[in-house]
Amino acid sequence: MADMEPTADGPSPLELQAGVHQLCGCGRSKHGWFCDGAHLGSGRVSYELRLQEPASVVMCGCGRSRRYPLCDGSHTVPKQQPWWPWGQR
């Protein structure tokens, strides 16, 4: 199991073995993408991923994914501007 650190640039591939993996969903873990319980008290939870066989999963590096910590391609969608004109300062 590779211990890859989250990046701010974009998606990151992560090779995982078959089994159950607790992935960090809060960004506080000192173990990169793997949960270490640092989310306790934050209102966030870890993401449980069950794999039947070894696989490469794509992790979110931009923080905009609706499936965080897994990438859903949100990094390719331009950010929306506010509809009110005074919010574009």
Using one digit for the tens of pLDDT, what is the confidence trace for 4-15? 455 556 799 999
The model carries a pTM of 0.72
Report pLDDT digits (tens) over 3-53: 445 555 679 999 999 999 999 988 899 999 999 999 988 888 899 999 999
Backbone torsions φ then ψ of 14, nearest 5 degrees? -135, 120
Res 43: pLDDT: 86
**The amino acid at 63:** G
User: Residue ranges of the domains in the chain?
Assistant: 1-76
Paired tokens of 39: 């989310």
3-state secondary structure string, the chain?
A: CCCCCCCCCCCEEEEECCEEEEECCCCCCCECCECCCCCCCCCCCCEEEEECCCEEEEECCCCCCCCCCECCCHHHCCCCCCCCHHHCC
For residue 19, what are the CA distances in angstroms to 8, 13, 49, 53? Answer: 27, 18, 8, 7
